Amino acid sequence: TNEQMSNSSYKSLLRNLPRVNLQNLKANPYAEVKHSPNRGPHAIGLKNGVRPNIKPRIGYVQDKTPFQKRIPKYGYNREQHLKRQYFPLTLWQLQRHVDLGRIDPTKPVDITAISNGRVLSMVGSESNYYGIYLLEQGANIFKAKLDIEVQIVDELALATVEKAGGTVSTAFYDRRSFVALCNPVEYFLMGKPIHKRLLPPQELVTYYTDPKVRGYLSDPAKIWEERMKLAKKYGYDLPELSEEQKHLMVEGKKDPRQVFNGLMPGSIVNLADKTVLVPENEHFKQHAAM
Amino acid sequence: MRMQQVFRVCNSCRHILQRKLIQPLPQVSQALSYTTEPTRYTVSYEDFKYVQDMLPPSRIPEPPTHGSYPTPSGWVAPSEKAPDLPYFISRTKFHVLPIVEKEKPRDQPVTVVFYIDGDIWALEKELKELIRPYVEFDPATRVHEVTRSITLKGHHAEVIEKFLYAKGF
């Protein structure tokens, strides 16, 4: 029949003609051609067929990384979380608290004595604090005879304390031992064995081995020479030290690996029974001596 | 080409990698063996004296008596007997007179005297007369009976301090 014939002819046509591809496709005749808007550096966007007067952002360069991204930036507060901070303590403050009886001048003055006397409101765990900075304000009135241990000291402050007959030493404490020294009761109540103090980092080794600032790692024989030199520079006579002070400078010095004076690392303090549990095993002693 | 080079390098390194794996793990050092040992300790009562030095005082210590006043830091002790006056001013916890100089907003300088007992108005009259030569206009004051304080316009802490030390507070 007619229909059968027509069907077979179409089928044969489809078989012989090429397939529809992306390459074959063409737009319809009289179709509208839509141009994509030109997104160059000069203007962005096309609104209602009108090019708005919007310039690209400042520093934009076509097909290039912009200037402010290519060059790395260094801020004022860069690496501030790594910087060591110190509580400032003036000589006037020290003198006032000696006058009021808050600091006992017969005993050596250190971080615990200053925090117990409420001279500074030190919260050890507050921030990146590493100790006390002794400043020279009040050098003209300072007369107390003190044996002080601080972390950093001014030259004039050092001279005035030594002129009055006292001694100064600078010592490094890591964060953990500084927090323990600020509030020793809270530390002992944890019931843990006392830890070992760390040695100073590489940047501070030169400071704490320097006899000019009475570093705790320096040679005690050189400290005597530097005391004489400083007395000559500022023009005063060095008063003679008592035997207790001499003992404190050389033999009775706190060990560089000790946090608390007289307490071996590894021992536990019992505040209720008023005792100290000292370990006897040899490896504890080895660990403390290392 | 690049892939071939990578394979060649891998093949050359294979024997090194294998040797590392074949090597036995490092033996546990003898120093670690002490962990099994029970800890022996001594109970020392003598060492507690070091702890005793570090314990904070439970109360504010009373200031010692000095030979002469003012002390090097400029501190003056109050007189032993309370002065015979209708008012009384007590010291702060730092043993100094409770006089504060501060600036309100809009930079208005103000001095405040705290901890006043007894007749506040008698003290206010005396302070007005004290400050009058240092002020251009009539001295402005405010008396607060609940907080026991007097505020004065302007910074006059030094003058008032001298005046109160002379009275014996």
Instruction: Summarize pLDDT for A108-161 with one digit per residue, the tens.
Output: 999 999 999 999 988 877 788 999 999 999 999 999 999 999 999 999 999 999
pLDDT of res. A42: 58
pLDDT of res. A47: 63
Q: CATH number for B87-167: choose from 3.55.50.30, 3.30.70.100, 3.30.780.10, 3.40.50.970.
A: 3.30.780.10
Relative to beta strand B141-144, strand B99-104 is unpaired
Identify the bridge partners of residue B110 per DSSP, sorted by sequence position.
B102, B153
**Mutation choice for B interface testing from A89, A90, A94, A96 by most B CBs within 10 A:** A96
Q: Which residue of A has its CA nearest to B77?
A: A100
d(CA A183, CA B55): 9
ipTM above 0.95, yes or no: no
Q: Which domain does A247 fall in, by range?
A: 83-261
Tens-level pLDDT at each residue, chain A (290 residues): 566 667 788 888 888 888 888 888 888 888 888 777 655 555 556 667 776 677 777 777 777 887 878 888 777 888 888 889 999 999 999 999 999 999 999 999 999 999 999 999 888 777 889 999 999 999 999 999 999 999 999 999 999 999 999 999 999 999 999 999 999 999 999 999 999 999 999 999 999 999 999 999 999 899 999 999 999 999 999 999 999 999 888 888 898 999 999 898 989 999 999 999 999 888 888 887 77
Whether A136 is in a domain gets the answer yes
B32 pLDDT more than 80: no
Q: Are B101 and B129 in contact (CB under 8 A)?
A: no
Mean predicted confidence (pLDDT) in B42-58? 92
Whether A140 is in a domain gets the answer yes
d(CA A62, CA A41): 6
Looking at per-residue pLDDT, the higher value among B144 and A252 belongs to B144
Element (H, E) at A90: strand A85-90
Whether A75 is in a domain gets the answer no
Spatial CA neighbour of A149 closest among A122, A125, A181: A181
Burial code (b: 16+ CB inside 10 Å, e: under 16) for B27-40 equals eeeeeeeeeeeeee
The average confidence (pLDDT) of chain B is 85
Whether A10 is in a domain gets the answer no
Instruction: Summarize pLDDT for B92-113 with one digit per residue, the tens.
Output: 999 999 999 998 877 889 999 9
Q: CB–CB of B73 and A188 under 8 A?
A: no
Phi, psi of A135 (to 5 degrees): -105, 165
Looking at the complex, does the CB of residue B59 fall below 8 Å from at least one CB of chain A? no
Work out the end-to-end distance of chain A between its first and last CA atoms, rounded to an integer number of angstroms: 110
Query: Among the residues of chain A, which ranges form H helices?
Result: 2-16, 67-70, 91-99, 111-116, 155-163, 175-182, 184-189, 205-208, 220-234, 243-249, 282-289
Å from B8 to nearest chain A CA?
Answer: 37
Q: Write out the two tokens for A275.
A: 């005792």
**Mutation choice for B interface testing from A192, A276, A285 by most B CBs within 10 A:** A276
pLDDT of res. A29: 87
pLDDT of res. B15: 55
pLDDT of res. A209: 94
B19 pLDDT more than 90: no
Identify the bridge partners of residue A134 per DSSP, sorted by sequence position.
A89, A153
B80 pLDDT more than 70: yes
Q: CB–CB of B40 and A280 under 8 A?
A: yes
Q: Are B155 and B109 in contact (CB under 8 A)?
A: yes
Q: Write out the two tokens for A264.
A: 């071996």
d(CA A192, CA A174): 18
Q: CB–CB of B72 and A141 under 8 A?
A: yes
pLDDT of res. A101: 92
pLDDT of res. B106: 79
B23 pLDDT more than 80: no
Total domain count for chain A? 1
d(CA A45, CA A63): 18
Spatial CA neighbour of B140 closest among B90, B92, B104: B104
Q: How confident is the model at residue B63 (pLDDT cuts 50, 70, 90)?
A: very high
pLDDT of res. A7: 77
pLDDT of res. B163: 94
What ranges do the domains of chain B cover?
A: 87-167
Relative to beta strand A167-170, strand A152-153 is unpaired
Q: CB–CB of A261 and B72 under 8 A?
A: no
